[in-house]
Amino acid sequence: MSYKFDESQPIYLQLIEIFKTNIANGTWKAGEKIDSVRNLALDFAVNPNTVQRALVELENIGLAYSQRTSGRFITQNQELTRNLKHEMAENKTRDFVKQMQAIDIEQKAILDLVQRCLSLEE
């Protein structure tokens, strides 16, 4: 694995984002077992406590649960994982539009930019 972390943000927050992304895009499926804290820490080359902190957050929002000795799992609740994807998509869109409007980009120009960016990848 081995990610590059952004220096401008705490690693545990970036881990949360990565984990949520894994759930949203189906890399981590509902009910599936997650790799152990220690292994994840090795993969991401960070301290186990940092991973632990991010995973506890994931539990707090109901996306995962842990079983003391058998490991940690993604929630069985497929409703939740599906919602996550939509929520993330809508939040990111809202943020994006807000930022574009803050620098005074017109509606049509926003759509054009997105379209152009998408068409670069076909």
Partner DNA sequence: ATTATTGTATTAATCTATTAATACAAGATG
Partner DNA sequence: CATCTTGTATTAATAGATTAATACAATAAT
Q: Which residues of this chain interact with DNA, rule CB under 7 A?
A: 7, 9-13, 34, 36-39, 46-50, 52-53, 55-56, 66-72
Residue 28 Cβ vs a second copy, minimum distance, rounded to whole Å? 12
Shortest separation between residue 42's beta carbon and DNA, angstroms: 10
91 is in the binding site of which of a second copy, DNA, none (Cβ under 5 to 8 A by kind)?
none
Rounded Cα gap, residues 22 and 3, in angstroms: 13
Coil, helix or strand at residue 61: coil
Distances (CA, A) of 58 to 15, 85, 114, 115: 10, 14, 31, 33
Binding site partner of 87, from DNA, a second copy, none, Cβ cut-off 5-8 A by kind:
none
Q: Tell me 120's DSSP state.
A: T
Find the shortest distance in angstroms from Cβ 52 to a second copy: 18
Q: Which stretch binds a second copy (CB under 8 A): 29-37, 41-49, 56-64, 99-107?
A: 99-107
* Helix runs in 1-122, H state only: 11-24, 37-44, 48-60, 78-102, 107-119
For residue 57, the partner it binds in a second copy, DNA, none, with Cβ less than 5 to 8 A by kind, is none
